[in-house]
């Protein structure tokens, strides 16, 4: 799947990515979209989150 | 007008997608008919286009090396090698290879990241940027909705659509596995220039990113169950299974032996994801014991680990997940106990991506034999929990070291030009587990010094590959300190009115169980820092953004005045993270980074969001050395066969140095500066 955006916007995106310290325009776009999606995305159950951390040496 | 820009839904530089049986790692899904057809045509195309691709690659490579200052660059990472110990042992003549490297080239202390944690520092090594630009601030980060901790470096999502057939659940989509480390590692930039890199076990490389080179994933690669490494102990001493950091399972006496079951990953093809199990038997034969599992027999010699044994877990629909483990009989008297390492993902049949290209993990196993794949492979929890003793831990750690050294040597022998980077964890794990033996008269008092000697010998082997066209760097990401007392920042926040528990309780469970968020202004999670509960950011935030600066300054001032019972100063500095770093991911960072003094660290309970009764407690675990202190106290080391020009080198400087050595200009976003 591809997403097309206006060339003018792409130029601004590229400039904003550089000014923001991102290593590419794609990384910038992903970050912006991730932040928006995270607001409504479902979270994994607490016990599952805790289970996955088991065995990490630094925490009990 | 539309730009000729396409962001493909599947293009994700940090993501890999695999069908799996979870919630742990799972099954490499046995492909469909369509996949086979597509595979056939792709193979034919690959075969026909091979000469053209090789010719193009040769042209690209020649171009890539045209401006190079070195033909080959070697990075030997010795995690946690401490400069104070290194300098002392060099002065005593006990590290002859490193001393020679320093004399003929350079040696300097290497500034580390804030906080001084391996995932943070090695991510900075890879990308040449600060944490605010690569997004790794700790082992853990938190959900802004639930305040629950999460592994900061990788996310395993939920399968997409699922077809339900009675109790069966057939995933129709793939399960995303995503690397959360952002920015771009130097090996990817070099790959674009046709400069090949072999990257072995550099932390925070799971899942592996696609690039023009080879990579084996490291720290935070899960085990087959999806955890960070859960050992198992099978023993006649328990009646029922118990689950902590490792699990204990009953061994049943049957005839002249014992029987038990190995618990594997959940079967996500079945409603409720029941655990898959493999039965086994231990039989006594002529006074010796033998492990019988899946039709094979393995001797359990006293004090000896078995080799890596492949264990295949079969799901309800017939798909299999392949794991590997090693076994050790830890007692064989009136009671019998058998230790099993975490179920490592099998590199020859990886249930999840652990290398790039995917066959590289299998190549290494075929050429060199099986090897540990889980992120933190040395089983520190088994020693903490007493499932194995110190000698067994050391044998395991050095066996893993041997596997890693074989990989490193294989890469060095097969690399005529390009980059070889390999990180060894042995130095870190042995210092974590044996720091309390330093200066004692016990049998393990010399373990750490011996380890430094072996790391020196390894450096000597790498030096043998460093001719005049090679730049060699031996580095560590941080040093080490004793960890005698743990500070529970959550308890301090409670005592000082910043954190409140429901019903005015004093203690909470893990993960902030019982915390009253409506009255809580700050909370601690993870090893390096803590957060304010900011309105509009955290789900139940109460600190207004306009008040945050004042609150932060107040907490920094008051926490810095904390004193231990004997008057000692547990915390040297509390840093406002925004004053340290600038970058797009700063919003995900802890608001404070705590610079503990030598001898202190955040407490075990505080790291997982627990509010304990006492603010400062003794650390009784075997895990007795640490580096989660003020980064000023624990710089790393940097040796090179080249003259290092920079006066105050930092770990962020290695990536631009690698680029410069191949004539590639460092991109504008990189913060490090070339050292040569």
pLDDT, one tens digit per residue, over A36-48 is: 998 888 877 777 8
pLDDT digits (tens, 9 = 90+) for B629-648: 999 999 999 999 999 988 89
| Contact call for residues B295 and B341 (beta carbons, < 8 A) | no
DSSP B543: B
The b/e string for B264-284 (b: 16+ C-beta within 10 A; e otherwise) is bbbbbbbeebeebebebbbbe
- With beta carbons under 8 A apart, name residues in chain B contacting A52: 23, 151, 156, 222, 226-228
Query: How many Å apart are CA B462 and CA B199, to the nearest integer?
Result: 15
Q: What was the pLDDT predicted at B20? A: 40
- With beta carbons under 8 A apart, name residues in chain B contacting A38: 144
Q: What was the pLDDT predicted at B245? A: 64
Closest to B79 measured CA to CA, from B434, B425, B548, B519 = B425
CA distances from residue A45 to B146, B318, B537 in whole angstroms, order as listed? 10, 28, 21
Tell me the shortest Cα–Cα distance from A56 to chain B, in angstroms: 5
Any A CB within 8 A of B133 CB: yes
Interface of B with A in 617-636 (CB under 8 A): 623, 628
**Interface contact B184-A24, CB threshold 8 A:** yes
Residues of chain A with pLDDT under 70: none
| Contact call for residues B632 and B595 (beta carbons, < 8 A) | yes
Residues of chain B with pLDDT under 70: 1-36, 38-39, 62, 244-245
Q: Residue A46 is inside which H or E element, if any?
A: helix A46-53
Residue B170, Cα to own-chain centre: how many angstroms?
32
pLDDT digits (tens, 9 = 90+) for B77-102: 999 999 999 999 999 999 999 999 99
Query: How many Å apart are CA B569 and CA B104, to the nearest integer?
Result: 41
Q: Closest residue of A to B2, CA-based?
A: A6
Q: At what angle do helices A25-38 and A7-20 cross, to 10 degrees?
A: 90
- With beta carbons under 8 A apart, name residues in chain A contacting B139: 56, 58-59
Closest to B340 measured CA to CA, from B313, B390, B300, B400 = B300
Q: Is B165 left (phi over 0), alpha (psi -120 to 50) or beta?
A: beta
- Among A23, A24, A30, A34, the residue to mutate for chain B (most B Cβ within 10 A): A23
| ipTM exceeds 0.85 | yes
| Contact call for residues B609 and B526 (beta carbons, < 8 A) | no
From the DSSP assignment, how many helices (H) and strands (E) are in chain B?
A: 16, 36
- With beta carbons under 8 A apart, name residues in chain A contacting B1: 6-8
| Contact call for residues A52 and B156 (beta carbons, < 8 A) | yes
Q: Residue B18 is inside which H or E element, if any?
A: strand B15-18
| Contact call for residues B18 and B28 (beta carbons, < 8 A) | yes
Residues whose CB falls within 8 Å of the CB of residue B645, separated by 6 or more in sequence, listed in order = B675, B676
Q: What was the pLDDT predicted at B35? A: 52
Interface of B with A in 459-488 (CB under 8 A): none
Sign of CA dihedral B392, B395, B396, B397: positive
Tell me the shortest Cα–Cα distance from A21 to chain B, in angstroms: 5
Q: What was the pLDDT predicted at A1? A: 72
Query: How many Å apart are CA B666 and CA B538, to the nearest integer?
Result: 37
Query: Could you give phi then psi for residue B602, rounded to 5 degrees?
Result: -65, 150
Residues whose CB falls within 8 Å of the CB of residue A46, separated by 6 or more in sequence, listed in order = B146, B148, B511
Query: Could you give phi then psi for residue B229, rounded to 5 degrees?
Result: 125, 90
Q: What was the pLDDT predicted at B34? A: 55
- Pinpoint the alpha helices (H) of B105-185: 118-127, 131-134
Tell me the shortest Cα–Cα distance from B13 to chain A, in angstroms: 9
- With beta carbons under 8 A apart, name residues in chain B contacting A6: 1-3
Name the residue among B13, B432, B583 with its Cβ closest to that of A21.
Answer: B583
Q: What was the pLDDT predicted at B5? A: 38
């Amino acid at each position: 799947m591809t997403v097309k955006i206006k060339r003018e916007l792409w130029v601004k995106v590229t400039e904003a990515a550089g000014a923001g310290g991102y290593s590419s325009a794609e990384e910038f776009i992903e970050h912006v979209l991730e932040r928006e999606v995270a607001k409504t995305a479902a979270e994994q159950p607490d016990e599952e989150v805790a289970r996955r951390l088991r065995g990490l040496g630094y925490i009990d | 007008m539309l730009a000729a820009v396409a962001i493909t839904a599947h293009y994700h530089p940090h993501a890999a997608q695999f069908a799996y049986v979870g919630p742990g790692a799972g099954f490499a899904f046995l492909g469909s008919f369509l996949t086979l057809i597509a595979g056939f045509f792709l193979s034919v195309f690959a075969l026909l286009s091979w000469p053209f691709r090789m010719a193009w690659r040769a042209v690209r490579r020649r171009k890539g090396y045209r401006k190079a200052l070195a033909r080959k660059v070697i990075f030997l990472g010795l995690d946690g090698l401490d400069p104070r110990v290194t300098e002392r042992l060099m002065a005593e003549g006990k590290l002859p290879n490193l001393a020679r490297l320093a004399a003929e080239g350079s040696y300097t202390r290497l500034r580390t990241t804030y906080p001084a944690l391996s995932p943070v520092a090695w991510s900075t090594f890879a990308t040449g940027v600060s944490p605010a630009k690569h997004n790794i601030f700790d082992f853990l980060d938190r959900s802004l909705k639930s305040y629950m901790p999460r592994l900061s470096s990788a996310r395993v999502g939920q399968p997409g659509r699922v077809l339900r057939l009675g109790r069966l659940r057939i995933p129709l989509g793939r399960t995303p596995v995503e690397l959360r480390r952002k920015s771009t590692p130097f090996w990817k930039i070099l790959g674009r220039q046709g400069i090949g890199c072999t990257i072995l076990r550099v932390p925070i490389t799971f899942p592996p990113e696609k690039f023009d080179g080879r990579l084996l994933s490291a720290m935070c690669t899960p085990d087959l169950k999806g955890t960070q490494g859960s050992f198992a102990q099978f023993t006649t001493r328990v009646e029922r299974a118990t689950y902590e950091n490792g699990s204990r399972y009953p061994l049943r006496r049957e005839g002249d032996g014992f029987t038990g079951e190995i618990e594997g990953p959940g079967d996500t093809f079945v409603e409720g994801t029941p655990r898959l199990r493999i039965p086994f038997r231990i039989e006594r034969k002529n006074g010796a014991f033998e492990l019988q599992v899946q039709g094979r027999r393995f001797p359990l010699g006293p004090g000896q680990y078995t080799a890596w044994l492949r264990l295949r877990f079969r799901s309800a629909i017939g798909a299999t997940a392949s794991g590997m483990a090693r076994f050790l009989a830890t007692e064989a008297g009136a009671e019998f106990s058998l230790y099993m390492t975490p179920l490592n993902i099998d590199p020859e049949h990886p249930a999840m991506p652990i290398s790039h290209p995917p066959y590289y993990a299998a190549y290494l196993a075929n050429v060199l034999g099986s090897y540990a794949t889980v992120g933190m492979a040395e089983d520190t929890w088994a020693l903490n929990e007493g499932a194995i003793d110190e000698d067994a831990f050391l044998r395991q750690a050095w066996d893993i070291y041997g596997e890693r050294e074989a990989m490193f040597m294989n890469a060095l022998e097969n690399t005529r030009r390009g980059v070889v980077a390999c990180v060894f964890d042995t130095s870190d794990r042995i210092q974590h587990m044996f720091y309390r033996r330093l200066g004692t008269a016990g049998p393990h008092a010399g373990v750490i010094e011996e380890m430094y000697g072996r790391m020196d010998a390894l450096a000597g082997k790498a030096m043998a590959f460093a001719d005049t066209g090679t730049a060699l760097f031996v580095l560590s990401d941080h040093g080490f300190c004793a960890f005698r007392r743990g500070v529970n920042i959550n308890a301090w926040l409670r005592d000082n009115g910043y954190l409140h528990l429901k019903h005015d309780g004093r203690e909470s469970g893990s993960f902030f169980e019982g915390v009253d968020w409506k009255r809580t202004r700050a909370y601690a999670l993870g090893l390096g820092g803590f957060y304010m509960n900011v309105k509009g950011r955290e789900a139940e935030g109460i600190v207004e953004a306009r008040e945050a600066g004042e609150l932060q300054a107040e907490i920094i001032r008051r926490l810095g005045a904390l004193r231990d019972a004997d008057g000692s100063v547990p915390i040297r500095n509390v840093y406002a993270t925004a004053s340290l770093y600038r970058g797009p991911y700063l919003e995900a960072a802890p608001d404070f980074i705590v610079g503990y003094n030598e001898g202190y660290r955040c407490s075990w309970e505080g790291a997982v969001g627990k509010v304990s009764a006492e603010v400062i407690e003794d650390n009784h675990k075997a895990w007795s050395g640490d580096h989660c202190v003020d980064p000023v106290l624990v710089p790393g080391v940097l040796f090179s066969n080249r003259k290092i020009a920079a006066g105050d080198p930092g770990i962020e400087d290695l990536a631009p140095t690698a680029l410069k050595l191949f004539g590639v200009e460092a991109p504008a976003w990189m913060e490090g500066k070339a050292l040569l």
